[in-house]
Every structure is written in structure tokens, then in C-alpha cells.
Structure 1
Amino acid sequence: MTLNCLLTGLDSKIGPVVRSGHPTDILTALVFGHTSGRPPEHVYLEKELMSKYVRDIRNKLEYYYKIARVRTDEQKQKAKIRFDSRVSPNLQSYKIGDKVFVKQSQISNKLQNKFDGPFEITQVFENSALLKNPETNRISKVNFDRLKPYIWQVAVRLLTYTTLIELEFLLQVR
């Protein structure tokens, strides 16, 4: 017995309420009103169907890219807030022309110096500064967390004007 005969027999056994109103050979046509997998060809032409499919996928991709960008920006803001809350406030106030030491990022052994310098500050930003290396005249941007004031300059800042005059007098006497 062929499948066609079975389906025809099935049509006669299914009541008129369940049937779609016309005899059919395929069960999916009975249930869904058209053959499985694709809409009927008379509804969509093949080229229109493909262009609509491509257009729909592009629109969905653009939508999801926008969502991803928004969520990435939100996460960046959260990370910035978290980072800023844990950073210790900068107690040093650096000025243009100050000399500083720069902490090395990688030290090969524990007996090596942790700081290089002195470097001269050429420009000051909110959390960083541009430093000029006096040996190579190369300028680099460094965060304040890695800077340490040049000790002689700190000592000079602490001295008052009168003690500076006394210091000059002592240096001339020697």
C-alpha cells in the first residue's frame, strides 16, 4: 500500500471539523495550510524572499550591535566608577618643571632600583603628566601612581626663603 493511498484513506476517516475543507495528500498541508519548510511559492517570489531574508538578518544584526554597544558603554562606566572609588587620592601636587622619579613596571630582581630618573614634568593632566627624559629628550605620559618626587626638590620646597639665603651663605663659605 502506498503512502498516497494511506493519506487518502486518512482524509476520509478524519472528520469534517478537523479537515481543511479540501482533500489533501500531505499531513503538513492539512495542519498548516501549506507544504512544510517554506511558505507557498505563490505568496513570495524566490528573489523577493531572499532579499527580505537578508534585509531582516541585517536589521537584526544592527539591532543587536546597538544593544551590545550600549551594554559595553554601561560596563565601562561601572568599571570606571569602581576604579575611581578604590584609587587613593593624589596628595602630591606636581607642577610644570618639577623633577620626579618614575617607578619601573618590571624589575628583574629585588636588588635593582625601583625608580628611574629624575625626569622633568613638561605638562600636567588630571591623573597623569608628560615627562621629558633629560638623557634622550624623549617625552612619555605617566600616571601619578608611578611618580615619586625628586628628593632634593622636596627639601627645597620645605625650606623657607630665609633658610635658602642661609644655605647659599653656607655654600659660599665652604
Structure 2
Amino acid sequence: MQLAAAPYEERLTAPRSWWLISFLVGVSAALILLPFGTLPMLGGLAGGTAVAAVAASAYGSVRIRVVGDSLIAGDARIPVAALGEAEILDAEEARAWRTHKADTRAFLLLRAYIPTAVRVPVTDPQDPTPYLYLSTREPELLAQALRAAKAEAETEA
């Protein structure tokens, strides 16, 4: 299997402010354990910060990749041949597709801290999913990579 002409990979990392919040969770745990002494307080600081940081890191570890003839978004792997033309959504349009325009059958890889997205229709008649909504910081690059992968898959077929 050859890689697509325009490979794409993006990790939807959590914003920097979440790391500060992780530290503040640790401070809260330390304050809760303060009446029990210095050692439990330090354990609460370290443990609370670590648990919150692991949660922030796990939530921000999801990736979107275009590899060969497939789009990999989180745990989903979709052949590009089953996808239509990617629509780039600005912040306002992305918000609309997350709210009042959303279809409950759609596949959403949603990260609210990322304002832009790409909406890709699913053209496979056997698949009940009408479209993929993918939060992305680089919607133009993702759409370009999907077009290139689809063109490459069509020339190989």
C-alpha cells in the first residue's frame, strides 16, 4: 500500500489552559488533604495534578490521519472511496453543524475547543452514517489530503 500524495496527520491536543486547570485540581486536592498533615497534602498535590493531567492528555490524544486510501479519525477507519467531497467549516458554520444542523446518525469527532471543522459526506449506500464531522485546526490541509487520497485511490482502481 502506497501513502497518499498528501499525507495528513493531526493530534487534537488539549489547549494550554487545561494544563493550568490540571495543576489547580492538584492544588484543590492538596487543600482538601491539608488537615491530615504535610505528607498527605503533598500527595494530594502530586496525585491530583497527575490524574487531571492524564485525563487532559487522554482527551487530547485523538488523531486524524489520512493514510493510503483510508481516513483514520479516532477509532474509526473509513476508506476514502466511501466519502464525498470535504466541506470546510469556519467557526460559525462548525458551531451550527454541532448544534441545530447536527444529525444524530453522524460520526462526530468533536473537540469544542477547536473552532473549525470539516464535514465529509459518506457516499456508501450501505452505511447509515450521513456524514463525518471532524474538528480540525487545519481544515484546508485535511480537505486537500482527502482529495489527493481519493484521486490516488481512483487511479489505482
Q: Which has the higher strand share?
A: 2
Higher relative contact order (CA 8 A, sep 6+): 2
TM-score, normalized by length of structure 1? Answer: 0.24
Higher-Rg structure is 1
TM-score, normalized by length of structure 2? Answer: 0.26
